[in-house]
């Protein structure tokens, strides 16, 4: 209610004066009557009042203090009015604000319509000019921040998302020499990642397509495969054309015949939606084909926002744990190496964050975390008091360094409840150790790390969310070789593996580790992969962002 109470008078003044004009028109007036001193005085009066009218809402990040600091530094000199004339760049800014939907942002947040109403006033008063100047600066600042850092606070949306790398570069915009420089620099604040740029192009494609065309849906029915004929095959072909999996061709085809070309296109669709690529349209494939274009546009918008939460520049050498792809990518020595991974199950999600890998452990001992001890080990011990002995565990009286080793077979486990379990459990290095032969450490509050595993069969699964939060590697020996290649630690690691000793090896160079979560990702061919939202994080994005990423006039 506070926001509405403050903003309505500003809007009403503007609406009563004039209707909106096109942002591409030349300026309708030159400011003559008010003196610059009058305008500056009005700006000083209007800054706090107008800032209060545009108070942040919920998780939205409107940087009010930055606007106030900028005007104070300029001694309340107007930003958009100089030599009694409106700066022409304000019209370019209005265009950029109205086009913010192409980044998955909501144009209504950036007040372009209100600015245009002020620009339509034929003989504005000093107060009206001051209001326009401040509102335009708020719009510029808010868009600069949102384009650079994201509109929303990630941890207010999802506490499990702990990767937020805010940049202050957007603030520099307000201290450039002129409004023209500010506006020209604004587009440069968007993430520079090629993936972001490809996603943005596809967002525009889906937005335009959803406005111009109706979704072509494939009717429910028996699975379709090569050799089938009929109207449902024509629907399938038309949908794959609409989604870009079949390129337009002048070659005549029987639209209702399921031929080789249609099968190949369907396989491409299945691969980029992480479906079983059998070239047949079963119920799951048809379900994915029939997701509306506007829903796909929203998904792309959510992932653009996630990219804005990332650092503006990524290190050339890094480890990239791609949670939705169940892979670990090593960007090292100018090369990229990938391997399969197992991530946390839904009830024990692997969090999103950045760490720094500093050391590895050969033939590690596994200290069982409290949660796993309570939830996994205790029930097994209550069923079989010899479980620890059979599986190579040692038991200690507490977590202190001086804790005494105990005989686990002499403890009445049935009398111990989860909340009273205070013992420390350690599994000795051997073939059955839960960590396998390698552990790769990037110390963090989540106690997450990469490691080997004896459960190799899980890497044959397509969806690999089976762990208790840590990330299991398909080829840990290869990973270890890559991060020690060319250094003495490589020989140290090989020696430890030969003699089976528990050895801590400091890495020759520390490596940044990113654990990331994207549900829409461009593939090597520039097409979009729509991935399974294994942790249901898109639903949290939809609840927080709560809008359709289309320009207001075309919203559907």
Which are the catalytic amino acids?
A: 451, 470
Alpha helices (runs of H) in 400-484, residue ranges in sequence order: 476-484
Tokens describing residue 45: 């009066």
Query: Which of 34, 28, 137 is CA-nearest to residue 78?
Result: 137
Residue 190 parent element (H or E): none
What whole-number distance in Å separates Cα of residue 281 and Cα of residue 263? Answer: 9
DSSP 8-state class, residue 263: H
97 vs 538: CA distance, rounded Å: 25
Contact 477, 498 (CB under 8 A): no
Per the CB < 8 A criterion, the answer to whether 179 and 92 are in contact is no
Distance CA 508, CA 336 (A): 19
Alpha-carbon distance of 93 to 115, in angstroms, equals 10
**Three-class DSSP category at 56:** coil
The gap from C-alpha 236 to its chain's centroid, in whole angstroms, comes to 31
Q: Is the dihedral of CA 252, 257, 262, 263 positive or negative?
A: negative
> Taking a C-beta distance cutoff of 8 angstroms, is the pair 229, 259 a contact?
no
Determine how β-strand 81-82 pairs with β-strand 450-451.
unpaired
Could you give the CA distance from residue 70 to residue 35 in angstroms, rounded to a whole number? Answer: 22
d(CA 421, CA 440): 28
**CA–CA distance, 256 with 116 (Å, rounded to integer):** 52
């Amino acid at each position: 209610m506070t926001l509405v109470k403050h903003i309505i008078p500003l809007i009403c003044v503007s609406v009563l004066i004039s209707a909106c004009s096109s942002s591409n028109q030349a300026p309708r007036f030159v400011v003559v009557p008010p003196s610059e001193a009058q305008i500056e005085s009005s700006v000083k009066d209007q800054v706090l009042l107008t800032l209060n009218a545009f108070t942040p809402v919920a998780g939205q990040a409107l940087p009010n203090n930055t606007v106030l600091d900028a005007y104070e530094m300029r001694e309340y000199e107007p930003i958009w009015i100089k030599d009694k004339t409106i700066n022409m760049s304000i019209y370019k800014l209005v265009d950029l604000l109205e086009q913010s939907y192409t980044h998955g942002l909501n144009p209504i947040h950036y007040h372009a319509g209100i600015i245009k109403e002020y620009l339509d006033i034929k003989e504005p008063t000093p107060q009206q000019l001051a209001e326009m100047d401040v509102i335009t600066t708020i719009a510029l600042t808010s868009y600069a921040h949102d384009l650079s850092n994201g509109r929303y606070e990630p941890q207010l949306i999802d506490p499990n998302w702990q990767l937020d790398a805010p940049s202050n570069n957007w603030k520099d915009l307000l201290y450039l020499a002129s409004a023209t420089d500010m506006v020209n620099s604004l587009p440069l604040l968007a993430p520079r990642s090629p993936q972001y740029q490809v996603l943005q192009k596809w967002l525009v494609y889906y937005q335009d397509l959803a406005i111009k065309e109706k979704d072509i849906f494939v009717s429910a029915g028996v699975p379709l495969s090569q050799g089938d004929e009929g109207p449902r095959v024509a629907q399938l072909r038309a949908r794959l054309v609409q989604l870009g999996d079949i390129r337009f061709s002048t070659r005549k085809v029987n639209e209702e015949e399921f031929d080789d070309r249609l099968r190949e296109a369907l396989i491409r669709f299945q691969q980029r939606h992480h479906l079983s690529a059998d070239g047949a349209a079963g119920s799951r494939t048809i379900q994915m084909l029939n997701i509306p274009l506007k829903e796909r546009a929203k998904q792309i918008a959510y992932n653009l926002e996630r990219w804005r939460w990332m650092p503006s520049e990524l290190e050339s050498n890094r480890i990239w744990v791609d949670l939705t792809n169940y892979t670990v990518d090593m960007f090292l020595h100018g090369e990229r190496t990938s391997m399969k991974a197992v991530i946390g199950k839904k009830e024990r999600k692997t969090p999103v964050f950045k760490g720094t890998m500093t050391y590895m452990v050969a033939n590690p001992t596994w200290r069982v975390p409290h949660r796993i001890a309570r939830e996994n080990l205790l029930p097994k011990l209550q069923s079989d008091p010899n479980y620890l002995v059979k599986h190579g565990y040692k038991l200690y009286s507490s977590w202190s360094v001086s804790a005494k080793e105990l005989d686990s077979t002499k403890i009445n486990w049935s009398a111990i409840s989860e909340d009273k379990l205070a013992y420390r459990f350690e599994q000795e290095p051997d073939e059955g150790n839960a960590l396998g032969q390698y552990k790769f450490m990037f110390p963090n509050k989540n106690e997450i790390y990469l490691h080997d595993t004896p459960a190799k069969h899980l890497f044959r699964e397509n969806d690999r969310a089976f762990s208790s939060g840590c990330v299991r590697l398909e080829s840990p020996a290869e990973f270890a070789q890559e991060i020690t290649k060319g250094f003495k630690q490589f020989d140290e690691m090989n020696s430890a593996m030969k003699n089976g000793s528990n050895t801590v090896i400091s890495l020759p160079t520390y490596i940044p580790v990113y654990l990331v979560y994207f549900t829409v990702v461009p593939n090597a061919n520039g097409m979009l992969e729509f991935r399974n939202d294994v942790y249901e994080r898109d639903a949290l994005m939809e609840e927080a962002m709560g809008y359709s990423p289309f320009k207001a006039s075309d919203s559907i």
